Amino acid sequence: MSTPSDPHTKCAPTSQGRRPPVPGRPTTFLFGLCALLFALITWQVIADGPLRDADERLGPWITGSRLPDGAAEFLADLGGVAVAVPFLAAAIAYTSWRGHRAGTFRWWPAPVAAAAAMAAVPALVIPLKELIGRTGPPGMDGTGYYPSGHTATALVAYGGAALLLLPHLRGTYARRELIIACALLNFAVGLGLVRRGYHWPLDVVASWCLFGMVLQGVALVVARYGRPPTPCETDPAQPK
């Protein structure tokens, strides 16, 4: 317990300046769950297992749903590089500027991690598409539909942007709403892709699992380096 003479007493973190907790067991569990699901789905797709059969029955049912074609196309386009990547780039630029302006110690690892996660999308998706060679839904030619590149791009872009912005938001409500909005947006992109017949449902789910693991790496970096400095960290009387 600190005493009034303790020089660190005045630097006790406040509700707005507290360092975000570094993920521990929950992150390890979630990473393992994503890895297990991705491995299971990939095995079922390659082996023409019962999960793939169910997937190919579910796909036409979603394609025939009442969601208007225009709305579905709009949602699918949100996973395109032309839309998603500039969104992430804007978040990287903004949080980099905020971190540099605030004098945050090592402000750059979090933006670099988010950019690296986006670079990982083609590096992982393209070889998997060629290796697995899954055929597309009815009306789509050729192979290479698993996993979904648009889904991966959307998850990394919008998820990465949300992770970068979270430490800069004040209040639990704002952070919760950002997370909910990000989750709904990514679900909408996946729904649009399946509704338009561009992908099977498992193509989308597999990308969520694979790049959910990638985003957890970004989350760890953001938790360590992505927060704004606390008042005592910016106090010139405190040692750097």
pLDDT value of residue 103: 76
Integer Cα distance of 99 and 168 in angstroms: 9
% residues pLDDT > 90 (the chain): 75
Q: What is the pTM of this model?
A: 0.85
Q: Residue 38: which pLDDT band, with cuts at 50, 70 and 90?
A: very high
124, 125, 129, 134: CA torsion to nearest 10: 120
Integer Cα distance of 105 and 22 in angstroms: 17
Integer Cα distance of 102 and 119 in angstroms: 28
CB atoms within 10 A of CB 14: 10
CB atoms within 10 A of CB 130: 10
Q: Which of 171, 143, 141, 191 is nearest to 45 (CA)?
A: 143
Higher-pLDDT residue of 191 and 227 is: 191
**Alpha helix (H) residue ranges in the chain:** 25-46, 50-63, 69-77, 81-102, 109-132, 149-165, 172-195, 201-225, 231-234
Confirm if 217 and 118 have CB atoms less than 8 A apart: no
Helix (H) or strand (E) holding 78: none
Integer Cα distance of 76 and 187 in angstroms: 10
Confirm if 106 and 180 have CB atoms less than 8 A apart: no
pLDDT value of residue 229: 59
Q: Comparing 20-29, 68-77, 117-126, 200-209, which segment has the lowest mean pLDDT? A: 20-29
Higher-pLDDT residue of 11 and 34 is: 34
pLDDT value of residue 195: 97
DSSP string, 157-191: HHHHHHHHHGGG--SHHHHHHHHHHHHHHHHHHHH
Q: Residue 189: which pLDDT band, with cuts at 50, 70 and 90?
A: very high
Integer Cα distance of 26 and 103 in angstroms: 31
Q: Residue 228: which pLDDT band, with cuts at 50, 70 and 90?
A: low
Integer Cα distance of 110 and 115 in angstroms: 9
